[in-house]
Structure 1
Amino acid sequence: MSDTPPAADPGELVEVRRAVYRPLRRGNALEDAVARLVQTIRLGVVAPGESLPPERELAASFGVSRDTVREAIRELADTGYLLPRRGRYGGTFVADPLPQPKAAPEVSPEELDDVLGLRRVLECGAVRAAAARSLDASTRADLWARHEAALPAGPEAYRRLDTLLHLAIAEAAGIPSLVALVAENRAEVNTWLDTFPLMPRNIQHSGEQHERIIAAILAGRVDVAEAAMRDHLAGSEALLRGFLV
């Protein structure tokens, strides 16, 4: 494409980080802290081998005590998701590799319909809103760069890069509350996607669909962008139904 924006290093997803590091609900602080930290891992906001923000920052973001954050980290360290390290270069690191699910979860058709139906509403709405906006140069370059970063990725890295691309589209919509909803929904979908292997042909096809989606957003073609996203989501829905139901 002659009008393809130049590649750029993907920038930080500010609204995504705000979404996962927002205050917790009152009443179940420990459980909610554990769930939110798992969400950051499932979404790839913090990649395997990378460190979480310091405990004091997490406590301030979640609106809980450092003891609660420390206990949540201890719970996830016990299950193999996090690795606390002491010393000058210490911190809390995401395990690399992450623990792999032993078996696919039991999912009812009704639960699958609910989660995937919400996904269609959220992500198709996000892509329409993004395509309808006048995006600045940084956002345009970031969208294309995230697409290009996912193209050569193998099965080990693709899921994370694919997730970050979808979250970047939600952020480009310019509706902060939408980013939080897409992040929560995607984290749930990822727990299912992670239970079956990625196939090279599927990765290639997804990359082709991503290109159509991003190109339509950048061209401001709202209906084309939504149609491309619907096609893309339908492919992963077919796989989920085939493997889980």
Structure 2
Amino acid sequence: MQQPQEVLDQAVLSSGRSRHAFEDCVERLATAIRLGVYAYGTTLPPERELAAAMGVSRATLREAMVGLRAAGMVVTTRGRGGGTVVSSAPPTPGESGTGALAGRRAELMDVLVFRRVVEPGACQVAASRPLTGAQRDLLAGSLHEMETAGSAAAHRQADSRLHLAIAALTESPRLVEAVMAVQAGLYDMLISIPVLPVDVEHSGAQHAAIVAAVLEGRAARAARAMERHCDDTAALLRGLLG
């Protein structure tokens, strides 16, 4: 029986791009780690499973892992009980400031426009489909992880993971790839500003409404709820990023 994490793994890791296998493999794994698909301290799937999910050879995957280890994102231990563990802790939102975004304003503002089209559509598709038990567990579990996150950094990653979980439910590789691109840009913006308790409470209620609508199969309601969430997040970011 498929497990909730396997639903997300299959959707995220198989959404490949038409570039060289090595660079693509590094990008997909690094993005999955940054966005909380594999959180700090968790163990990546076995090499054979990862390579199959990503559609690459085990040799290519090993080369990609060398790059991730060199970047300090993962550590690998050999032998019985060994494996590759995510070793890079997520950054604390607001700690780096907005300086890292210099020169990217036009690109990042366009991310917000693109998101307003893509994510409500993904919600509508997800809510229109019959969901398996594993898919429902993935969505409910992702919401719970976000609601119980123990730090601002963990909350930020859990937020991204929830949005990717919704995309995974569509079973559309193109939609998953689009939402991943949106969440990567959004992540860069959100970690540059401090977490505001009022916004966490407000967005938490919106996320709960989105998840409920998807699980209940209310497609139009799910899309509207995501539209409101996208609009409010965009207003916050445009205001704080200037």
TM-score relative to the length of structure 1: 0.79
CA contact (8 A) 2:128 2:219 kept: yes
Q: Partner letter of residue 29 of structure 2?
A: L
Q: Distance in 2 between matches of 1:126 and 1:13?
A: 19
In structure 2, the CA distance between the partners of 1:225 and 1:156, relative to structure 1 (3 Å rule), is same
Structure 1 equivalent of residue 81 of structure 2: 89
Equivalent pairs counted in the alignment come to 235
2:123 maps to 1:127: yes
Structure 2 equivalent of residue 205 of structure 1: 202
2:193 maps to 1:196: yes
Instruction: Please say which of residues 40-49 and 168-177 is displaced more in the overlay.
Output: 168-177
Structure 2 equivalent of residue 6 of structure 1: none
The counterpart of 1:157, out of the listed 144, 154, 159, is 154
In structure 2, the CA distance between the partners of 1:138 and 1:66, relative to structure 1 (3 Å rule), is closer
2:4 maps to 1:11: yes
Q: Distance in 2 between matches of 1:235 and 1:194?
A: 17
Q: Partner letter of residue 5 of structure 2?
A: E
CA positional deviation for 1:99 = 6.2
| CA RMSD, Structure 1 to Structure 2 (Å) | 2.9
CA contact (8 A) 1:167 1:179 kept: yes
2:180 maps to 1:179: no
CA contact (8 A) 1:81 1:94 kept: yes
Instruction: Please say which of residues 148-157 and 201-210 is displaced more in the overlay.
Output: 148-157
Q: Distance in 1 between matches of 2:22 and 2:144?
A: 38
2:224 maps to 1:231: no
Deviations 1:92-123 (A, max 9, x none): 21115246785533253431232222212111
CA contact (8 A) 2:90 2:157 kept: no
Question: In percent, how many aligned pairs have the same letter?
Answer: 43
SS at match of 1:104: helix
What runs of 5+ residues in structure 1 fail to find an aligned partner? 1-9
What runs of 5+ residues in structure 2 fail to find an aligned partner? none
CA positional deviation for 1:81 = 1.2
The counterpart of 1:112, out of the listed 105, 108, 113, is 108
Q: Distance in 2 between matches of 1:18 and 1:74?
A: 22
In structure 2, the CA distance between the partners of 1:17 and 1:111, relative to structure 1 (3 Å rule), is same
Q: Distance in 1 between matches of 2:137 and 2:12?
A: 24
Q: Partner letter of residue 74 of structure 1?
A: V
CA positional deviation for 1:48 = 0.8
Instruction: Please say which of residues 225-234 and 185-194 is displaced more in the overlay.
Output: 185-194
2:14 maps to 1:22: yes
TM-score relative to the length of structure 2: 0.80
Structure 2 equivalent of residue 43 of structure 1: 35
Instruction: Please say which of residues 97-106 and 163-172 is displaced more in the overlay.
Output: 97-106
SS at match of 1:97: coil
Structure 2 equivalent of residue 169 of structure 1: 166
In structure 2, the CA distance between the partners of 1:136 and 1:28, relative to structure 1 (3 Å rule), is closer
Deviations 1:169-223 (A, max 9, x none): 2233354442232223323322332333322222111111112222333444433
CA contact (8 A) 1:43 1:187 kept: yes
Q: Partner letter of residue 44 of structure 1?
A: G
